[in-house]
Structure 1
């Protein structure tokens, strides 16, 4: 099956899963109440991440995306989901979230072998190597992307 079909199926499943999970979220208190800087007027269930995770997980297996070699990615994504749910139920400190995100980045670097060794041909003079800064630079970038998506998601589930 073409990749676009798998992606469309994951989007459809997420669109179905999120409203289906809303009653459970309300029962267990996984909701966001309107106050302060919030723009919503009523309680909003916090299940977008869980719905997307379930949808992608259901589609990834038959699509052949998940393999034994991909375990670091599965663990990284699952651990971020756990952090998100736990933080939504009972807010955690920024320090704890930052350390957790850094650990996830290190898992992807050392477990999955992903790191940013260069910045590409940024100035038209050949590859700009980061060499000995590759690991801390990769951690910085991964944590930055996680937090950028977290800020976007703060706009009433925009990233979901």
Structure 2
């Protein structure tokens, strides 16, 4: 049970099962799908580390330096082993493509860290994490659908090999 403290402003004791429940649902979904999902094991491993650290943090209040270091390590593992990083922002400023070069690794690391912490901030508000996740991933899915990435495997994890903003080796 989660108790209020200087970081947590909720009232009363709150059960700490949100992140674990979401992760269990994702693992179950990955287990029943019958088509190839790129980087599924990498995704589950990285997410598992984050869930484990989140559970430890809920229990023992881990310092922000340790949590940020582990989140950065997860982002680096994703970039190194999955070769998943932002190589381009596409044609965001008009007719020329904004290629990021080596800066793409730093931007990806920041984006991963920001996404982890943005979702973590709303995790304590009942049901809000699930709703925000659905809206965010539905929006990404619609963008990819209109971009031509309308195969089922692309919609599951918003993975698109042809999208200019995501580099896959």
Over the aligned positions, Cα root-mean-square deviation in angstroms equals 2.0
Mapping 1:63-78, distance limit 5 Å? 63-64=33-34, 69-78=39-48
Give structure 1 stretches of 5+ with no counterpart: 1-30
Give the secondary structure class of the aligned counterpart of 2:57. helix
- TM (norm. structure 1) is 0.72
Q: Which residue of 1 aligns with 2:123?
A: 153
Tell me how many residue pairs correspond in the alignment: 129
Question: Of 2, 7, 10, which residue of structure 2 is paired with 1:39?
Answer: 10
Q: Which residue of 2 aligns with 1:106?
A: 76
Q: Is the 8 A contact 2:79 2:105 kept in 1?
A: yes
Mapping 1:112-151, distance limit 5 Å? 112-151=82-121
Give structure 2 stretches of 5+ with no counterpart: 131-169
Q: Cα distance, 1:70 vs. partner?
A: 2.6
Distance 2:35 2:14 in 1: 32
Q: Is the 8 A contact 1:72 1:112 kept in 2?
A: yes
Distance 1:156 1:38 in 2: 13
Q: 1:68 to 1:133 in 2, by over 3 A?
A: closer
Higher relative contact order by CA 8 Å / sep ≥ 6: 1 or 2?
2
- TM (norm. structure 2) is 0.69
Higher helix share: 1
Q: Is the 8 A contact 2:18 2:123 kept in 1?
A: no
